[in-house]
A and B are shown apart, each in its own frame.
Chain A
Amino acid sequence: MIDRKWIGHAWPPSVLHIDRTRLQFFAKTIGETNPIYTDVAAARHAGYPDLPAPPTFIVAAEMDAGAVERFLAELAIPLSKLLHGEQGFTYHKTICAGDTIAVHSRITDIYDKKNGTLEFVAKTSRVFNQLEELVAELRAVIVCRHDRRT
């Protein structure tokens, strides 16, 4: 059982500087061929100040900072039992290379289904850029499968 005391818990923000090389690598990995994601001139021509970070890239901030790893360890969810249940994004401004984002996350709920064999952790995040503008909001539900052996 995941301790319900974590509901409402917030962690220190995860900060990530968005650099072109990383975005180009990400674009290549997901098969993105639109040049605005790899070529700065094309991005600027399309009206962006630099390469835009693809819509789902933001999640990398908490991965790189080790926040996800820490959060799973603190809630005692082993990687072997972890599944991603839901993910959502609200966008206020496109994040581009050169930006530094800070992701502030909080656990909003922990609940279970199927007599506790499945536990769910809901987390929301607010993402700010270097100008303190709210650029995105994230919603995630992660699943801990107790029917899977460790």
Chain B
Amino acid sequence: MIAELNEVPMKSPIFDSVQIGDELAILQVPPVNRTTLALFAGASGDHNPIHIDIDFARKAGLPDVFAQGMLGMAWLGRLLTGWAPQSQLRRLDVRFQGITHLGHAMTCSGRVIEKFDGERSVRIELRSTNQYGQVNISGEALIALR
């Protein structure tokens, strides 16, 4: 049983078999709705009313509430931890380029763009794109591989 504790059963890509240009399995998330925004406000601790209160959003001159940036980044996190175990994630950086509105159905994608032989790690380019082809979040991750 002790051996089992140290075992890592989750499949992890192997450094030598990963190639530059490899695509991570796409993560398609359901369209953003108000329930998700309300729940994420509670779960993340971000209670900014601009994401959950339409009255507040309208007073700020916006037509409606919009998604928390960190919700979109959490989905990119899922894309990565679905590819390799989280303990191998070394860096994650994003730029929020466009607002994710209600109804946006985000597709999270990633592609290996560089391999580092010394530390056996890979750099991954990340994107979160809506159904209209607009990139709302772009970024990069660094993942260590065996």
Contacts and interface: CB of A to CB of B under 8 A. Distances in A.
B85 A46 contact: yes
Interface string B16-57: 000000000000011000001001101111111110000010
Contacts, number: 135
Interface string B85-129: 111011111111001000000000000000000000000000000
Contact of A91 (B42, B89, B99): B89
B135 interface: no
Given A30-B40, A55-B86, A86-B93, A148 B45 contact: no
B3 to A, nearest CB: 11
Interface residues of B, number: 50
Contacts of B43: 22, 25-26, 28-30, 60
A84 B77 CA distance: 17
A-B pairs, top 8 by smallest CB distance, nearest first, are A63-B45, A80-B60, A84-B69, A88-B93, A55-B77, A29-B43, A60-B45, A26-B43
Interface of A: 22, 25-26, 28-32, 34, 36, 44-48, 52, 54-57, 59-61, 63-64, 68, 79-91, 94, 139, 148-150
